[in-house]
C-alpha cells in the first residue's frame, strides 16, 4: 500500500467524523481524574419500585464449575488466564467483564458461584484497570449487575460501592468519540442506576442518560425500524436495550413521561418487524455487516420478551406459498419469499458515514435459504482484532457478491 493511498484512506475516514468525535478522541487521551475512582462514603440504597422487573431475555451460561469461562467457543479457567487474560483476543476479554452470565437461564441455580465471581472481580479489578474499566464493558456490567439485583439477588456492600464508582466514572467518560450503540449503552446504564438507587448523584445520572436516549432514538432507529448501523446482530442488541428500558418504565412508572413510554413501545414493534424480515427460516439472523450467531438474543426470544411486557409484536412466520416482497427502504434490504425459498438482499449503503466500524464490503450480497436450510450466506464475523482475519471477513471476497479487480466495494 503506497503513502498516497494511506493518506487518502485517512482523509476519507476523518472527513465524515463529527466534530464531537474528533474532540473526544483527543480529550480521552488524558488520564481520568483519580477522584472519579474514590468511593464517596454513601452506600447506594434501592428505591422502591411499583412493579417487579419482568423476566428479561435469557442467555446461555458462560461461567461454569471450577470457574471456567467460555466465550466465542473458547473455554478458559480464570485462575489460569486471570481477569486481564492477556493472551486472549480483546472481544473475549471484553466478554469476561460484561457479566452476561448473570442473565443466563440457569442463573438462579448458581447464585453462590456468581456471588463469588462478583466479589473476585471487585477485588482484582481496581478502579481504572485497563480494559475492565473501559466505558463499554463498564456500561454493560452495570446493567447486568442491576438486572441480577432485580431477580431477587442481594449485591454485597463492596459490589454496591464498586457500582457507585463505576457509574460515576462512566458518567465522566461517555463514548462521544464513538457514538452509536456504545453511547446508547452508556446512557442506558446511567438510567438504570439513577432510577434504581438512591445516592447524591442519582438524579444527575438519570437525567443525563434519559436525555441522550431520547435524542439518540430518532438518530439510530430508521423509519423502517432498522438500527442505523445496519447489522442484524447489533439490531438485536439494540432491540433488547429498548425492551429493557420499557421494562424499567413499568417498574418505575412515575419516573418516565408517557411520550417516552409510547416511543419505546412503537420502536420495539417496528424493530421486531424489521428483524422478522432479516431472519432466516431457521430462526437466526442473516450475516450482513458485523453479525454472528449466539451473541445476541434471536427473534423468538426477543418476541417472547416483548410479549411478557404486553407489547403485541406477533412476528409473521415466513411460510407463505405465495411470492412476498418486502423492501426495507431506509435500511437498504430486500426480503423475497417464494414457496420454500427465502432471499435476503443488500441494496443499501454500508451504514452511517461517521460510524463505519461495523460495516462490511457486502454491497449487493445476498443470502438464500431453501426448505429451512441455509444454502448461500455471507461469511459473518468471528473477531474484532485488527488483523488479517478481521480484514478478510470484512472484505468483498467473504461475501456472496461480485468482487472486481480484487478490491473491496466499500473503499
Q: What is the pLDDT of residues 133-170, one digit of tens each?
A: 999 999 999 999 999 999 999 999 999 999 999 999 99
For the stretch 299-329, pLDDT in tens is 999 999 999 999 988 755 555 567 899 999 9
Residue 383 binned pLDDT confidence (cut-offs 50, 70, 90): confident
Q: Is 214 helix (H, G, I), strand (E, B) or coil?
A: helix
Task: Give which of 394, 359, 391, 364 is closest to 379, Cα–Cα.
Answer: 394
CA distance 377 to 387: 23
Mean pLDDT of the chain: 92
The pLDDT of residue 316 is: 58
Length of the chain: 411
CA distance 78 to 75: 10
The pLDDT of residue 287 is: 95
Task: Please tell me the number of Cα atoms within 13 Å of 262 on its side-chain side.
Answer: 3
Q: Residue 236: in which H helix or E strand, if any?
A: helix 232-251
For the stretch 354-381, pLDDT in tens is 998 899 999 999 999 999 999 999 999 8
CB 81 within 8 A of CB 88: yes
The pLDDT of residue 321 is: 61
Q: Which three cell numbers stand for residue 124?
A: 482484582
Mean pLDDT along residues 266-274: 97
CB 243 within 8 A of CB 306: yes
What predicted TM-score, i.e. pTM, was given to this entire model? 0.93
- What is the percent of the chain where pLDDT is above 90? 74
Residue 270 binned pLDDT confidence (cut-offs 50, 70, 90): very high
The pLDDT of residue 34 is: 76
- 228: pLDDT strictly greater than 80: yes
The pLDDT of residue 313 is: 84
- 8: pLDDT strictly greater than 60: yes
CB 321 within 8 A of CB 314: no
Strand partners, 346: 333
Mean pLDDT along residues 231-242: 97
The pLDDT of residue 400 is: 94
Highest mean pLDDT among 41-50, 172-181, 307-316: 172-181
CB 235 within 8 A of CB 274: yes
Amino acid at each position: 500500500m503506497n503513502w498516497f493511498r494511506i493518506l487518502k484512506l485517512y482523509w476519507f475516514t476523518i472527513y465524515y467524523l463529527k466534530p464531537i468525535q474528533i474532540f473526544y478522541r483527543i480529550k480521552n487521551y488524558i488520564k481520568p481524574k483519580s477522584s472519579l475512582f474514590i468511593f464517596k462514603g454513601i452506600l447506594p440504597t434501592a428505591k422502591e419500585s411499583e412493579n417487579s422487573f419482568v423476566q428479561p431475555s435469557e442467555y446461555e451460561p458462560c461461567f461454569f464449575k471450577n470457574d471456567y469461562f467460555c466465550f466465542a467457543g473458547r473455554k478458559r479457567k480464570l485462575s489460569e488466564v486471570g481477569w486481564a487474560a492477556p493472551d486472549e483476543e480483546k472481544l473475549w476479554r471484553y466478554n469476561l467483564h460484561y457479566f452476561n452470565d448473570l442473565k443466563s437461564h440457569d442463573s438462579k441455580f448458581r447464585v453462590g458461584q456468581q456471588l463469588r465471581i462478583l466479589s473476585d472481580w471487585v477485588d482484582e479489578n481496581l478502579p481504572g484497570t485497563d480494559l475492565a474499566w473501559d466505558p463499554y464493558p463498564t456500561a454493560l456490567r452495570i446493567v447486568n449487575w442491576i438486572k441480577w439485583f432485580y431477580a431477587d439477588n442481594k449485591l454485597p456492600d463492596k459490589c454496591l460501592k464498586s457500582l457507585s464508582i463505576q457509574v460515576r466514572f462512566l458518567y465522566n467518560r461517555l463514548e462521544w468519540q464513538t457514538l452509536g450503540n456504545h453511547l446508547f449503552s452508556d446512557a442506558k446504564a446511567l438510567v438504570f442506576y439513577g432510577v434504581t438507587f438512591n445516592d447524591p448523584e442519582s438524579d444527575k445520572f438519570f437525567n443525563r442518560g434519559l436525555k441522550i436516549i431520547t435524542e439518540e432514538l430518532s438518530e439510530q432507529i430508521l423509519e423502517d425500524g432498522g438500527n442505523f448501523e445496519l447489522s442484524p446482530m447489533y439490531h438485536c442488541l439494540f432491540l433488547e436495550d429498548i425492551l429493557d428500558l420499557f421494562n424499567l418504565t413499568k417498574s418505575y412508572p412515575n419516573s418516565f413521561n408517557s411520550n417516552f413510554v409510547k416511543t419505546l413501545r412503537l420502536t420495539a414493534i417496528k424493530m421486531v418487524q424489521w428483524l422478522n424480515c432479516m431472519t432466516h427460516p431457521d430462526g437466526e439472523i442473516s450475516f450482513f455487516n458485523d453479525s454472528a450467531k449466539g451473541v445476541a438474543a434471536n427473534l423468538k426470544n426477543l418476541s417472547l420478551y416483548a410479549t411478557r411486557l404486553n407489547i403485541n409484536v406477533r412476528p409473521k412466520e415466513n411460510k407463505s406459498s405465495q411470492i412476498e416482497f418486502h423492501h426495507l427502504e431506509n435500511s437498504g434490504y430486500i426480503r423475497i419469499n417464494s414457496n420454500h425459498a427465502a432471499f435476503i438482499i443488500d441494496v443499501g449503503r454500508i451504514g452511517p458515514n461517521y460510524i463505519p466500524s461495523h460495516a462490511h464490503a457486502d454491497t449487493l450480497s445476498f443470502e438464500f435459504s431453501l426448505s429451512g436450510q441455509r444454502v448461500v450466506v455471507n461469511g459473518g464475523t468471528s473477531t474484532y482484532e485488527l488483523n488479517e482475519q478481521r480484514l478478510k471477513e470484512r472484505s468483498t471476497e467473504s461475501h456472496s457478491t461480485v468482487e472486481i479487480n480484487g478490491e473491496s466495494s466499500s473503499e
